[in-house]
Structure 1
Amino acid sequence: MITTSLASFIINLHIDGIPLFALEKAKLCFTDFLGVSLRGSREKSSQAIWDTMESIKLSPGDLSKEITVLGHGGGGLLEGCLINGISAHALDLDDGHRIAQLHPGCSVIPAALALAEYHDKSGKEFLEAMVAGYEVAIVLGIMVNPVHRNKGFHSTSTLGVFGAAAAASKILGLNFEETVNALGLAGTQSAGLLESGHSGSMGKHLHAGHAAHSGVISALLAQRGFTGPSSILEGKEGFLKCMCSTIKEKEDLVDNVTSLLGQFHIKDVYLKRYPVCRHLHSSIDSARQIYKELQLKRININQIDHIKVRTYKTAAEHDNYYPETPESLRQSLPLSIAITLCGGDLGVDDVKAISQISPEVRALSQKIAIELDEKLDHLQPHKRPSRVAVTYNKINMGGNELNRYSIEKTTLLPQGESENPFTKEEILHKFQFLNSGYDIRKLEILNEMESLSIRYLMGNFN
């Protein structure tokens, strides 16, 4: 049974059995999470959930039991992991896994962090739980996607809840039966629709917080003897049947999950440069290369005649030419490329300033044609390819003839993937760029986090 196989993996995972490369990647992902969440806490969605939780006053009377709510202060266990999850996903700058098609960190880390801080666990215990949660969420994603995603489900939430429950179960030291119950309870709360992102709403942010919150609730209930369905994944009316109905035979999946567990897929988690959907990043990388050449050739934006983007199906579907909110801009390939070609990059401030985007950028976005390229589509999901071609006009030396030229750049995988990773120094720079004024030296404490209390550690991040 798939659910019980996951539970066995969770309870049998120990820090001594986790390879060094997985632990180092976990610490890098945690560093990235902290930087992204601190900056994300200033977003409207994070402030709204903080204000809501404050208004119903769920914070504990015993301040020694408060947990860190990044960017806001302290709060209760459950609202803390909910708010931290929303903050982590609010900028669309959080980590992800290409094949699993989900963002594991924004649900797994808030769940593990909340319980580890509440129970004053060590950094070693936190990392152990974090790796367990990433592995469960990613393995499930590899197993069910792209079928599950193509039905409109947001795997960050629907599968992230299992990862959050796994991490929470590990922190709480649940036994096998309790862990099975926690996974079962998590599965029955699995939710999240991609329409929330496509429509340009903040619902996508809620998905991450909900998954973290539900994972913690599931583990806490299981600890108290609350039972959950042990067949939540493979049952006749379970997750696979209801949310992945065209998936292959369950018997094959049991063998598949067993072989996938323990490969420490956290090693393949990507980190992000741009605060937009990952499917846009290859095109933006290509556009940045073209921008540099245009600058060298002293070509201005008004000389661009047209732009052609050829890419894979999922990326090509992000064709909103008229986004009106920061959330919808994060799903807009045309405007993301136009901003990049005008300024050479795409940052958080560019997205937030959507109401102030210049007519020049808007006009350039209308010159972009997006095409599905079948050859590039066949490379997906192992690659996320995009080919961008910019055609521009230039008057010849004599000044009497207008010539047309093109620059084309192809990106098979955006920067940040395991095949083309960011360095630790680049992630630290990202942290500081997002949180100007923060004393970056405080992050040095993460180098020795295994031996420190999480409660002590988190005192450095508020």
Structure 2
Amino acid sequence: MRTLTQDLASMLTRPISKLDRDRASLLLLDWTGCAVAGRQEPAGQKITNAFPNEDGNCIRIGASKASPQMAALHNGCLGNVLEMDDVDKRAILHAGPTVIPAALAMAEHVGATAEEFLNAIVIGYEITLRIGRAVGPGHYAFWHNTATCGIFGATAAACYLLDKSDLVSALGLAGTQASGFWQTRHESDSMAKQLHAGHAAQAGVQSALLSAQGFQGPRSILEGEQGFFAATCPGADPQDVFKDYGNGWLIHQTSLKPYPACRHAHAAIDAAKLVEAWDGKSPIIVETYADALKFCDRPDPKSTTEAKFSLQHSVALIFAGHPLTLDAFTADVINHLQIMRVRDLVQVREGKGFNKAYPAHYGAAVIAGGKRYSVDDAYGDPECPLSNKDVTEKALMLLKEGGVSEKKSKALVDATLANDFQSYKVLLP
């Protein structure tokens, strides 16, 4: 009897076009900027310092080369540090920091071509997003989808590049390692969210390597009576991994983030930008969907992490005229008297219409100056996408933050978008 994992694997045999690979290149560029800048942050430095002496042939950004498993762990953690990584709104996860580090590590390990590397990214996104969109709100209530669903995509990407790997068995191994609890969001000094992404990338590589040796995993990991969906997805149907989302690979349906804040705060930021007039002292009302409040209702953030997960802080930045740069979420700005004064005026509440549209649409409204300003989709979503120029400028900004020279940054951007994998690897810091 065929399992759902076998059927899911069979969906990956359709052709991958140059247009698909170009989309993978754009997301690779976005992830690269996030990871390079992320290494400069305290969490990024701790990740590097934890494993200083490793042996292997795979790039670790800002550190010595390592085994494919350790390279995937290291780079996977870095890509999620800044909260600027790509996101899929229906799956409510970041595919980039799990799939791309696994694909990169395995591509280096086996000497893959640029085309093979980019194909692996396309396939990894497909698996991650299909499972992520199927797990439902019962899963997301406790589990970090990036970690628990990204591990499947990381495995699929690695298996695509590794001869003799058994994708179905490897996905079984991946599923039995899926982990990552949202408790990390309740403790401001916790860095476990970054570990979630790194572990998923690392476990994906390990699952592929083990499967190539004939190490067997459970083939009915998705629908089994004690499998992934039964254990972690109350109310969800495993068959939903096969939903029809139209023609083409799902990598084209992902969103890119223009602001260094939680994605749940982005629609409120966009609505705040529409405000035409405000008297500087009256309340600012934010209406949005329940999950945005669950994760980002923080009226008095005390740290960079808390500020990035604060609707009040993000909206206050707009009303105070502060640009949404990386330093907008640092202690100096968090504790700036003007920002604090405006932040105290921001009130948040649930909007039923936004709840109904979510997660297909991340919407919000801001009421200020006697008027209501509303957006149905956040900037960077497929409905209002970032242009290639926007993505390039974001990457150049992040590379500069990561200490890369302007000349080298431009060369790295050009190599990435030209699908020049050899130059890309040489130019990575």
TM range (shorter): over 0.9
Whichever residue aligns with residue 410 of structure 1, its letter is S
Counterpart CA distance in 2 for 1:407 and 1:304 is 15
Counterpart CA distance in 1 for 2:306 and 2:4 is 37
Contact 2:9 2:167 in 1 (8 A): yes
Q: Report Cα offsets for 1:200-243 as digits up to 9, x if no partner.
A: 32111111101001100111111112111111111100000000
Secondary structure, aligned partner of 2:65: strand
Secondary structure, aligned partner of 1:310: strand
2:286 aligned residue:
309
Counterpart CA distance in 2 for 1:355 and 1:446 is 34
Whichever residue aligns with residue 109 of structure 1, its letter is I
Counterpart CA distance in 1 for 2:195 and 2:290 is 26
Counterpart CA distance in 1 for 2:272 and 2:244 is 39
Contact 1:288 1:344 in 2 (8 A): no
What is the aligned counterpart of 2:115 among 113, 124, 142?
124
Counterpart CA distance in 1 for 2:332 and 2:146 is 26
Deviation for aligned residue 1:195: 2.2
Counterpart CA distance in 2 for 1:277 and 1:390 is 23
Q: Report Cα offsets for 1:103-142 as digits up to 9, x if no partner.
A: 1011000000011012221110001110010000001112
Counterpart CA distance in 2 for 1:132 and 1:69 is 23
Whichever residue aligns with residue 323 of structure 2, its letter is D
Distance 1:338 1:43, change over 3 A: same
Is 1:25 the counterpart of 2:23 in the alignment?
A: yes
1:154 aligned residue:
144
Secondary structure, aligned partner of 1:146: helix
Secondary structure, aligned partner of 1:32: helix
Q: TM-score, normalised by structure 2?
A: 0.92
Counterpart CA distance in 2 for 1:390 and 1:430 is 30
What is the aligned counterpart of 1:366 among 341, 344, 349?
344
Q: Report Cα offsets for 1:175-209 as digits up to 9, x if no partner.
A: 5xx21111111111100112213433211111110
Deviation for aligned residue 1:365: 1.4
Equivalent residue runs for 1:37-116 within 5 Å: 37-54=35-52, 57-60=53-56, 65=57, 67-116=58-107
Is 1:349 the counterpart of 2:327 in the alignment?
A: yes
* CA RMSD in angstroms, aligned pairs only: 2.0
Distance 1:153 1:49, change over 3 A: same
Secondary structure, aligned partner of 2:128: helix
Distance 1:438 1:182, change over 3 A: farther
Contact 2:333 2:339 in 1 (8 A): no
Runs of 4+ with >4 A deviation: 258-262
Deviation for aligned residue 1:316: 2.3
Deviation for aligned residue 1:43: 1.2
Counterpart CA distance in 1 for 2:268 and 2:333 is 23
What is the aligned counterpart of 2:298 among 320, 329, 343?
320
Deviation for aligned residue 1:263: 3.7
2:382 aligned residue:
418
Deviation for aligned residue 1:309: 0.7
Is 1:444 the counterpart of 2:414 in the alignment?
A: yes
Deviation for aligned residue 1:42: 0.8
How many residues are treated as equivalent by the alignment? 419
Counterpart CA distance in 1 for 2:218 and 2:388 is 41
2:224 aligned residue:
235
Deviation for aligned residue 1:341: 1.5
Using the aligned pairs only, state the percent identity: 31
Deviation for aligned residue 1:360: 2.0
Counterpart CA distance in 2 for 1:390 and 1:73 is 51
Deviation for aligned residue 1:330: 1.4
Counterpart CA distance in 1 for 2:354 and 2:423 is 49
Larger radius of gyration: 1
Q: Structure 1: any 5+ residue segments left out of the alignment? A: 392-405
Distance 1:352 1:68, change over 3 A: farther
2:7 aligned residue:
5
Contact 1:309 1:388 in 2 (8 A): yes
Q: Structure 2: any 5+ residue segments left out of the alignment? A: none
Distance 1:306 1:261, change over 3 A: closer
Contact 2:26 2:417 in 1 (8 A): no
Contact 1:85 1:110 in 2 (8 A): yes
Contact 2:167 2:208 in 1 (8 A): yes
Deviation for aligned residue 1:455: 4.6
Whichever residue aligns with residue 257 of structure 2, its letter is K
2:262 aligned residue:
277
